[in-house]
Amino acid sequence: MNSLGYGSHIRKARREVYDSIGSAHVFTTGSKAEGLTNYLESDMDIMTVLQDVMCLENDVSYDILPRKITVFTLNTGECYHGHCRLALERLGANIHTSVRNALCADEDGRALLCSDLYVNAYDELHVGVDPRNVRHERAGPSTPRSLIGAFNIDIVHSLYCYCPSILRKWAERRRHWPPPDVVHKIVSMGAFVTPVGFKGSEYKHVEWRICFNTGENYLVNCLNNTQVYIYVLLKMVIKEVLKPLKKELSSYTVKNIVLWIAENIPQELFNERTLLHWLREGLVELRSAILTENLSYYMITERNLMAACGLDETQKRTWIQMITDMIDEGPKVLRRIPKIRRAIISHPEPLMWYGKRRMEIELLVLKQLIKMIQHRAYNDVESDTMIQAINRRIHEILRSLKGCVGKEVWLIIRLIYLNI
């Protein structure tokens, strides 16, 4: 797992890079923020948070908020668990165009913020003129984009949400993990609402989903190595073995499974010797979620992540049988995952040799990304010199790889030449 790029050192380096290029209002979430995917391995999930807007639970006073803040209240009574409507309480002095253009009226004439209109209004303000940047069809709360043919970015435009009773209910659960200091940190991070309704709702176009992206990123970063490896392996099972076509299952599904396992089991039981045991338990939980079409959201237990997931009976039976076979196979189940199978075949010398060079290239590229941002922001001569030195070292490594260079490396080279 370390040679494949999932060790604690490279995970930490990735997280630090994405933390450094973000801000309080624009930040990376998902696998990139967790340090679990390399530079070009998967889409980059970006969350933007609109300033001067706050969404509050019904019993929370907004009198102390500055007048420039537009205030909405969470109307959860008519929505599926973990979702809400945003009812306008007060228009602030600074009203963003996207908010103004997304206001509509409910059946009683009360002003609501429409999630569909909000996404459309926000995107209309940010249509790129660069023909290399392509905007794709909306996917849930996100608007996917392809940048210069190499980067895939999912952008979610969200709002700040203050929901103390929801977080308090989560914090007061009896648990083995996370420890009290981490629980306190998660509560302090607050929540967001994202513009997507419950799939089975008649009024999904005006609904929003309550989420805890920064808190969940922090929770994953607090998992120990064994728990992280379980998470990575289960993600590989979903992507490379089960291969869902319509996101009936996703990385988010297994993230919640791993968080539940970590919470309910004493931490001393997770170590290298028990990795395969807990991988098996993860597969058992995944099978149960598919069979019952029920998996509680880790932060809001009433929300069923499998509700309205579009899973048909034929697909369900197929996946249940596949997972049952994997459970019965024991350690041999790893052979089903192409990336692990190739690693086993090339272990130890070729895998370790290539893994070290692959990791060095990635660390250099991540460092280069920071230096490029610094150079562009401050016209920093020192950063420009460092970029050139990094380029030279990358080319030295690539020459040593010779015929081993794959598509991923050449994409990185292309990015370097394009000076992104």
Write the secondary structure of 191-216 as one string of H (helix), E (strand) and C (coil).
EEEECCCCCCCCCHHHEEEEECHHHH
Residue type, 381: V
DSSP 14-29: HHHHHHHT--SSEEEE
Contact 62, 56 (CB under 8 A): yes
- What would the pLDDT profile of 250-274 be if each residue is shown by its tens digit? 999 999 999 999 999 999 999 999 9
- What would the pLDDT profile of 154-186 be if each residue is shown by its tens digit? 889 999 999 999 999 999 999 999 999 999 999
Report the pLDDT value the prediction gives residue 370, as an integer from 0 to 100.
75
From 2-11, 188-197, 405-414, the region with the lowest mean pLDDT: 405-414
Structural domain includes residue 146: yes
State the Cα–Cα distance between residues 111 and 197, nearest whole angstrom: 17
Indicate the number of domains in the chain.
Answer: 1
Structural domain includes residue 302: no
Tokens 């995944």, located at residue: 286
Structural domain includes residue 153: yes
Asked whether residue 11 carries a pLDDT value surpassing 70, the answer given is yes
Structural domain includes residue 340: no
- Domain at 92, CATH number: 3.30.460
For 110, 113, 125, 266, 327, the CA distances from 256, given in Å and listed in that order, are 36, 29, 35, 17, 20
Residues found in the chain: 420
- Per DSSP, which regions of 228-336 are E strands? none
* Residue 380: band (very low, low, confident or very high) from pLDDT cuts 50, 70, 90: low
State the Cα–Cα distance between residues 407 and 261, nearest whole angstrom: 36
State the Cα–Cα distance between residues 193 and 84, nearest whole angstrom: 9
Q: Which H helix or E strand runs over 183? A: helix 180-189
Report the pLDDT value the prediction gives residue 2, as an integer from 0 to 100.
85
* Residue 94: band (very low, low, confident or very high) from pLDDT cuts 50, 70, 90: confident
Classify each residue of 87-102 as buried b or exposed e, where b means 16 or more C-beta atoms within 10 Å of its C-beta: bbeeebeeebebbeeb
- Taking residues 121-126, report their average pLDDT: 71
**Domain membership of residue 137 as a residue range:** 43-221
Would you state the torsion angle of the CA atoms of residues 221, 226, 229, 231, taken in this order, to the nearest 10 degrees? -70
Structural domain includes residue 375: no
Asked whether residue 231 carries a pLDDT value surpassing 80, the answer given is yes
State the Cα–Cα distance between residues 171 and 215, nearest whole angstrom: 12
Structural domain includes residue 47: yes
Structural domain includes residue 177: yes
- Taking residues 46-72, report their average pLDDT: 94
Report the pLDDT value the prediction gives residue 347, as an integer from 0 to 100.
79
Q: What is the pTM of this model?
A: 0.89
| DSSP 8-state class, residue 133 | E
From 169-183, 317-331, 347-361, the region with the lowest mean pLDDT: 347-361
State the Cα–Cα distance between residues 363 and 307, nearest whole angstrom: 40
CB count within 10 Å of CB 308 equals: 13
Report the pLDDT value the prediction gives residue 418, as an integer from 0 to 100.
37
- What would the pLDDT profile of 202-217 be if each residue is shown by its tens digit? 999 999 999 999 999 9
* Residue 382: band (very low, low, confident or very high) from pLDDT cuts 50, 70, 90: low
Residue 191 pairs in a beta bridge with: 161
| DSSP 8-state class, residue 5 | I
CB count within 10 Å of CB 365 equals: 19
Contact 286, 254 (CB under 8 A): yes
Structural domain includes residue 359: no
Report the pLDDT value the prediction gives residue 401, as an integer from 0 to 100.
63
